[in-house]
């Protein structure tokens, strides 16, 4: 069964999308077909300036009863705290996703920069990555941590179990009351599995960390993809509830 929401959707993609009702309707049709009751737009923060509250209000009315939610996916980098606080105050966001996409200026999830992996011992790389995730959670600027183990995107696997390398990040997430998303985009990357992997999600469940679901769609046809499988994995590790957000207040719902 599909979860109730896809909370990680990029209408603007990396600049190739557009904020118009006809284009959004393609996303909405896909969401309805997937059986979703909520669709959360979470644009990359560099496109914050293109978001338009009036458009979003019109879209919300147009596509009811599907509930449109307004999120934002912010790239966490140390030193951005004030900037992030200002960004997230600009619109009435329902939730904010904090994602680590780069390490000290290296965009490790970008295919043009895969060379960078050669410079690292892979376990050290995972430790550095998860230290940044821990910082992101501890900043308390975010409601959800995006693609928790994104560092596996190109298939570079740690020698030690990921759960042990992520220990500090999980503790910080728990401590800050942040959620983790089950993100299906990794299935379509060299990693070939969801973010997070099942054992890492099980470790989240053991700590009673709440979850959301997201496809990380950058195009209409990707909306909701494999979310039924994501829900299945979440149920397998014990989850029966996910959370939804409205104006940064969360509420648990069965899935
Ligand atoms: Zn993206
Ligand atoms: Fe991301
Ligand atoms: Fe994304
Ligand atoms: Zn993402």
pLDDT digits (tens, 9 = 90+) for 133-177: 999 999 999 999 999 999 999 999 999 999 999 999 999 999 999
pLDDT for res 148: 98
**Residue 255: helix, strand or coil by DSSP?**
coil
Which-ligand-closest: CA of 47?
1
What the block records as the tokens of 126 is 């995972």
The alpha carbon of 124 and the centre of ligand 1 are apart by a number of angstroms equal to 25
The alpha carbon of 254 and the centre of ligand 2 are apart by a number of angstroms equal to 26
The alpha carbon of 54 and the centre of ligand 3 are apart by a number of angstroms equal to 23
pLDDT tier at 97 (50, 70, 90 boundaries)? very high
Which residue range is the domain that position 68 belongs to? Answer: 5-254
User: Is-contact 218 188, C-beta < 8 A?
Assistant: no
Whole-structure pTM value: 0.97
Residue 1 reports pLDDT greater than 90: no
CATH number for the domain spanning 206: value is 3.20.20.140
In angstroms, the CA 238 to CA 94 distance is: 26
pLDDT > 90 in the chain, percent: 98
What the block records as the tokens of 149 is 């183990």
Verify cis geometry, omega within 30 degrees of 0, for the bond prior to 168: no
The alpha carbon of 207 and the centre of ligand 1 are apart by a number of angstroms equal to 29
pLDDT in tens, 233-247: 999 999 999 999 999
Q: For ligand 3, a single-atom ion, which residues have Cβ within 5 Å? A: 73, 216
Pairing of strands 241-246, 211-214: unpaired
Phi and psi for 165 in degrees, rounded to 5? -75, -25
The alpha carbon of 73 and the centre of ligand 4 are apart by a number of angstroms equal to 7
**Residue 164: helix, strand or coil by DSSP?**
helix
Residue 2 reports pLDDT greater than 90: no
In angstroms, the CA 227 to CA 80 distance is: 32
- pLDDT averaged over every residue in the chain: 97
Residue 191 reports pLDDT greater than 90: yes
Q: Considering its fold, how many domains does the chain have in total?
A: 1
pLDDT tier at 60 (50, 70, 90 boundaries)? very high
The alpha carbon of 197 and the centre of ligand 1 are apart by a number of angstroms equal to 20
The alpha carbon of 40 and the centre of ligand 1 are apart by a number of angstroms equal to 15
Q: Measure Cα distances from 133 to 54, 83, 149 in Å.
A: 33, 18, 9
pLDDT tier at 189 (50, 70, 90 boundaries)? very high
Chain position carrying tokens 């759960």: 163
In angstroms, the CA 130 to CA 147 distance is: 12
pLDDT for res 154: 98
What the block records as the tokens of 32 is 């309805």
Pairing of strands 249-254, 241-246: antiparallel
Longest pairwise C-alpha distance within the chain: 51
pLDDT in tens, 71-91: 999 999 999 999 999 999 999
Nearest of 105, 103, 135 to residue 122 by alpha carbon: 103
pLDDT for res 247: 97
The alpha carbon of 101 and the centre of ligand 2 are apart by a number of angstroms equal to 6
pLDDT for res 3: 86
């Amino acid at each position: 069964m599909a979860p109730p929401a896809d909370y990680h959707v990029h209408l603007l993609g990396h600049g190739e999308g557009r904020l118009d009702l006809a284009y959004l309707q393609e996303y909405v049709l896909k969401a309805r077909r997937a059986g979703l009751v909520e669709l959360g737009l979470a644009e990359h923060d560099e496109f914050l300036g293109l978001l338009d509250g009036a458009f979003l209000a019109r879209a919300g009315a147009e596509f009811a009863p599907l509930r449109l939610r307004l999120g934002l996916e912010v790239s966490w980098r140390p030193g951005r705290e004030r900037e992030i606080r200002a960004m997230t105050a600009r619109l009435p966001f329902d939730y904010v996703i904090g994602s680590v996409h780069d390490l000290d200026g290296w965009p490790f999830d970008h295919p043009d920069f895969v060379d960078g992996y050669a410079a690292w011992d892979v376990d050290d790389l995972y430790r550095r990555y998860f230290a940044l995730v821990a910082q992101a959670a501890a900043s308390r600027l975010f409601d959800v941590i995006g693609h928790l183990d994104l560092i596996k995107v190109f298939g570079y696997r740690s020698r030690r179990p990921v759960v042990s390398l992520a220990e500090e990040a999980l503790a910080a997430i728990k401590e800050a009351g942040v959620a983790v998303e089950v993100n299906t985009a990794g299935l379509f990357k060299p990693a070939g599995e969801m973010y997070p992997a099942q054992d890492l999600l099980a470790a989240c469940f053991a700590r009673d960390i709440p979850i959301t679901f997201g496809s990380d769609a950058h195009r209409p046809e990707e909306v909701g993809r494999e979310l039924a499988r994501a829900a299945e994995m979440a149920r397998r590790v014990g989850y029966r509830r996910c959370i939804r957000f409205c104006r940064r207040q969360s509420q648990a719902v069965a899935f």
